[in-house]
Amino acid sequence: MSHFSHFNDHGRAKMVDISEKKESSRKAIARSSVQMTKGVYENIIHQNNKKGDVLGVSQIAGIMGAKQTSSIIPMCHPIPINGVDLSFKWLPIPHDRFELVIEAEVKTVGSTGVEMEALTAVSVTALTVYDMCKAVDKGMIIGPTYLLEKSGGKNGDYKRMEKDKE
């Protein structure tokens, strides 16, 4: 049986003690996406959405999400975040639809990584896009959501292999 670090000797949940871990520069990049109709896509790029600037509001929501990760993921440590950068890219997909690809890069100097903060940032961004556009298309598809890469810490660097990408 493998040992999970988030359980104590009695099998109960615990927050991992990172007090002895070395501080290092850490970075994580995560990706998610939202698939939508051409109408929603045009609404966003021409800024005709009745709720406002979809990408602008969603970007701020993603930054806020990264900063609040420890408040919504029970075992995440509250950490100082040194930077959050979100980017968007549009891709045409079959059947006259479009995909908004969302990437978040989160950085810190600390004793634990920022993978969860990057994943939360792209998830909250995607959910905000959905929320702002659902009146036009409730059939939007969110995801997949995944970690692209991370650096720093005792476990070393990780970079998602091309074959693993969705």
pLDDT tens digits for range 19-55: 778 888 999 999 999 999 999 999 999 999 999 999 9
Non-local CB neighbours of 75 within 8 Å, separated by 6+ positions: 6, 13, 15, 16
pTM of the model: 0.90
Tokens 């007090």, located at residue: 19
Query: 83-92: buried (b, 16+ CB within 10 Å) or exposed (e) per residue?
Result: ebebebeeee
CATH number of 24-152: 3.30.70.640
CB atoms within 10 A of CB 149: 16
131 is catalytic: yes
- The torsion angles phi and psi of 158, rounded to 5 degrees, stand at -135, 135
> Which of the residues 17, 53, 85, 131 is marked catalytic?
131
pLDDT at residue 67 in the model:
97
Distance CA 90, CA 136 (A): 18
62 contacts 121 by C-beta, under 8 angstroms: yes
What is the structure's pLDDT at 19? 76
Nearest Cα neighbor of 77 from 111, 29, 107 is: 111
pLDDT for position 4: 63
Domain locations in the chain as residue ranges: 24-152
**Low pLDDT (below 50) residues in the chain:** 1-2, 166
CB 32 within 8 A of CB 88: no
**What's the confidence (pLDDT) of residue 3?**
58
